[in-house]
Amino acid sequence: MTMIDHHSDILILGSGAAGCTAAIYAARANRRPIVISGSQPGGQLTITTDVENFPGFADMIQGPWLMEQMQKQAEHVGARFVNDTIEELECLPDAFVCRGESGVRYHGRSLIVATGASARWLGLESERRYRGYGVSACATCDGFFFRNKHVAVVGGGNTAVEEAIYLTNHAAKVTLIHRRDILRAERIAQQRLLANAKIEVCWNSEVDEILGDPERPEVTALRLKDTVTGGFRDLPVDGVFIAIGHSPNTSLFAGRLDLDEDGYIVTKPGSTVTSRAGVFAAGDVQDRHFRQAVTAAGSGCMSALEAERFLLNTTG
């Protein structure tokens, strides 16, 4: 079999909001970027139904439609999208070579990593069934849709506590469900949580099943298991937010780029520059704090501008 090679000044790994925005800017600089879509083309927005917080749209839009439009815009100005997933990365002195599952090799003088981060889920079949219909992993994205309703948050760390507090801006009641009898979150965050009259903590409990109406579909309750007694009970809720953390998609870059203790790519403050010259990281793969489509798009813009600056200053 003949090995196929593609060459570009800028390779972009990932096709979410960060990758598409980087592609738009790189293409407008006439760099003819190649975007390798990855295992989830379009990123996390493709599994987000209603989007109401992306600037420029007075009416609610759909996540998959938004990503379709971003890709079309990037293609219109000269970006090329390839449906492939990178399995190997070789860092040469003056280039980066990525090999896809397809066997195709992609060569780039610079590399933008926008592979994103994946929310950690409970792994329940009912969780998959109602994802986007009452099950969410982003309170900032979806909290608005639960105004004056009862929602639950699953988790015990900083993310869970912060999301529970945030949801009190919309929901009438928030129940935090934690499998232990003590939280892992910072003490000051715990104090704010426990002092909030809208929040109730359900200790020593874990979600055994998410109950709902499959016809509509919508979440109606959670079946909780007591981790001490083993007993079960149902908690009526209108929605549930899973807040047990995110995992950045960075296994490919271990040993090649500096990663923090949780696997996020380390970038210079106020920049997308990584520990390796010519490699830039944008979006959720390096942002552990905000994880919003608009911030990912912003860092995608930054990465393309910084890659262009790198190429202009690099001979050959």
Tokens linked to 23: 């592609």
Alpha helices, DSSP H, located in the chain: 17-28, 63-76, 125-129, 139-142, 158-167, 187-195, 293-312
- Long-range CB contacts (within 8 A, 24+) of 199-203: 199/164, 199/165, 199/168, 199/173, 199/174, 199/175, 200/173, 200/174, 200/175, 200/176, 201/175, 201/176, 202/152, 202/175, 202/176, 202/177, 202/178, 202/235, 203/178
Asked if 142 is an active-site residue, the reply is yes
Asked if 141 is an active-site residue, the reply is yes
Tokens linked to 12: 């972009």
Annotated active-site residue in 84, 142, 238, 284: 142
Annotated active-site residue in 138, 238, 287, 301: 138
CA dist 17 and 66 (Å) reads 9
Place of tokens 């790994």: 13
The answer to whether 61 touches 82, Cβ cutoff 8 Å, is no
Which phi-psi region, left, alpha or beta, contains residue 25 (left: φ > 0; alpha: ψ -120 to 50)?
alpha
Instruction: Fill in the DSSP letter of residue 273.
Output: B
Q: Which of 85, 114, 81, 83 is nearest to 98 (CA)?
A: 85
Annotated active-site residue in 141, 202, 238, 301: 141
Asked if 138 is an active-site residue, the reply is yes
Strand partners, 98: 89, 106
Strand partners, 13: 36, 113
List active site positions.
138, 141-142
